[in-house]
Amino acid sequence: MDTVNDSDNEHNRLTDPELVFQTFELPAGDGRQITVWRSANLDRALRAAPILIAPGFGRRMSAFSPLAHYLALNGFEVIRYDPLDHVGSSSGDMVDFTMSTSLESMRIVADWMLNERGFDGIGIVATSLSARVAYRLVSTMKRIRFLVTAVGVTNLRSTLENAFGEDYCPWALDKLPKYVQFEKQHQIDTARFHQDCTEHDWWRLEGTVEELRDCPVPVVTFIGSEDTWVRESDVRAAFDGSRSGSRFIYTLAGSRHYLGHNAAIARQFFREITRASIMLNEGLSDLGEIEREPSFSALTQQSIHERRLQQPAFLTTSMQSSP
C-alpha cells in the first residue's frame, strides 16, 4: 500500500473541496421507498460513468461514506442506497430480507440512474453479499459499464455455512429454525430466505459461473487474503469460466471478510476500489492512479453528518419540520 506523508495530509486539509450531497426517495411499489444518497465533486469535470455503491449485508450505506468520498473526490458521481428489507433508511425490516428483494432494490436504483437521471451507462461497486446480487444484475441488464467487487460472495451456500456454522441448504422448510441471527443483532426469517434461494437459484456456485460466463461487462474483484467466508477457489472458478469480458483478480493483503476491522486495511480498500474504478472507466489495462485522497477531517465530518441523517430522532424531526 502506498503511503501519504504529513505534508500530503496537510495539503489535503487545506484544499479539500466541499462535495455536493443530496438525498432522494425512490418509489418501490406498494407504498414502499428506497432512500438514495448522491455525492459529487463539482470542482472538476465528472468522469463518464457514475458509480452505484451497493452496501454489504447488514451494513447501512452510511458505512460506505469514506469510499463514496474517495470516489467523488476523484471525479465520480456516486450514488448509494439502502436496500429494501434491510438495515438503513429504506422500507422494510431485515427479518424479511431475501436475495431477490436485494436484487430488485439494486435494479430499481440502477434503472433510476439510467432512465431518470439520463446516464448512458453506470459502474457498480459491491461488497460481500451484494456482490452476488451484482453478478446477476450485470449479466441481465444493459448499459452497466463495469463492476468492481471486494470480498464478493460467489458461492452463497459455502459463505452462509461459514457465517452461521451450519449448512441449511439441504434442510426441509419445516425443519429450519424460525430465525437465524447475523452478528448477534439481525434476525432473518430462515424459511423465507431459504425458499427464495431455492426457487431463484441463489445457492449454487455454478449459478454465478453461468451468469458471468457470457457477460461482456469488465469485472474487477478483490479477495481478502484472510477472508474465511469467501474461498479464493470459488472466486477463481467464477472468473476463470468467463468467455466474454475482461476479468481481473487482486488480493487485499491482510484483509478479513469485514474490511473495517483495521484502519490501514480500510484505507487500502478505499484506495484500491478507487484505482480499479478509474482503470475500468478509462479503459486502462492496469490499476489507475488516484488523483488525491480526502483528509481525515473531511471523512470524519461527512461520516458524522450521514450517521445523524439515519438516526430515527433526526429523521422524525426532519419530517415534522418539512414544508
Domain of 33, CATH number, reads 3.40.50.1820
Can you tell me the mean pLDDT for 186-214? 97
Residue 322 neighbours by CB under 8 Å, 6+ apart: none
Does the residue 98 lie in any domain? yes
Neighbours of 38 (CB within 10 A): 19
Q: Phi and psi for 209 in degrees, rounded to 5?
A: -60, -45
Look at 26-30, 33-37, 205-209, 284-288 and tell me which has the smallest mean pLDDT. Answer: 284-288
Report pLDDT for 131.
98
Does the residue 37 lie in any domain? yes
In the predicted structure, residue 5 carries a pLDDT above the cut 70: no
Can you tell me the mean pLDDT for 55-69? 94
Residue 276 neighbours by CB under 8 Å, 6+ apart: 148, 220, 222, 248, 250, 287, 288
Report pLDDT for 183.
79
Q: Is 196 designated active site?
A: no
Report pLDDT for 308.
83
Q: Distance between CA 265 and CA 260 in Å, rounded?
A: 7
Please list the helix, strand and coil fractions of the chain in percent, rounded to the nearest 5, in that order.
Answer: 45, 20, 40
Does the residue 86 lie in any domain? yes
The 10s digit of each residue's pLDDT in 247-299 is 999 999 999 999 888 889 999 999 999 999 999 999 999 998 999 999 989 89
Residue 189 neighbours by CB under 8 Å, 6+ apart: 95, 96, 97, 178, 179
User: Which residue in 86, 227, 234, 295 is the catalytic one?
Assistant: 227
User: Which residue in 69, 86, 194, 257 is the catalytic one?
Assistant: 257
The 10s digit of each residue's pLDDT in 34-56 is 999 999 999 999 999 999 999 99
In the predicted structure, residue 109 carries a pLDDT above the cut 90: yes
At residue 312 the predicted structure's pLDDT band, cuts being 50, 70 and 90, is low
Percent residues over pLDDT 70 in the chain:
92
All cell numbers assigned to 132: 452476488
Does the residue 275 lie in any domain? yes
Report pLDDT for 185.
79
Report pLDDT for 11.
45
Does the residue 1 lie in any domain? no
Q: Is 65 designated active site?
A: no
Q: Distance between CA 156 and CA 162 in Å, rounded?
A: 10
Can you tell me the mean pLDDT for 53-65? 94
* Helix pair angle (65-73, 263-282), 10° resolution: 40
Does the residue 315 lie in any domain? yes
Report pLDDT for 292.
92
**Is there a contact between 197 and 168 (Cβ–Cβ < 8 Å)?**
no
Q: Is 305 designated active site?
A: no
**Is there a contact between 190 and 179 (Cβ–Cβ < 8 Å)?**
yes
Choice between 321 and 226, residue whose per-residue pLDDT is larger: 226
Tell me how many domains the chain contains.
1
In the predicted structure, residue 23 carries a pLDDT above the cut 70: yes
User: Which residue in 90, 102, 128, 139 is the catalytic one?
Assistant: 128
At residue 18 the predicted structure's pLDDT band, cuts being 50, 70 and 90, is confident
Quote the domain boundaries for residue 105: 6-321
| Whole-prediction pTM | 0.90
Q: Distance between CA 318 and CA 188 in Å, rounded?
A: 30
Does the residue 260 lie in any domain? yes
Q: Which residue has the cell 471525479?
A: 75
**Is there a contact between 56 and 128 (Cβ–Cβ < 8 Å)?**
yes
In the predicted structure, residue 313 carries a pLDDT above the cut 70: no
**Is there a contact between 90 and 105 (Cβ–Cβ < 8 Å)?**
yes
Dihedral angle sign, alpha carbons of residues 58, 180, 259, 202: negative
Does the residue 22 lie in any domain? yes
In the predicted structure, residue 142 carries a pLDDT above the cut 70: yes
Report pLDDT for 192.
98
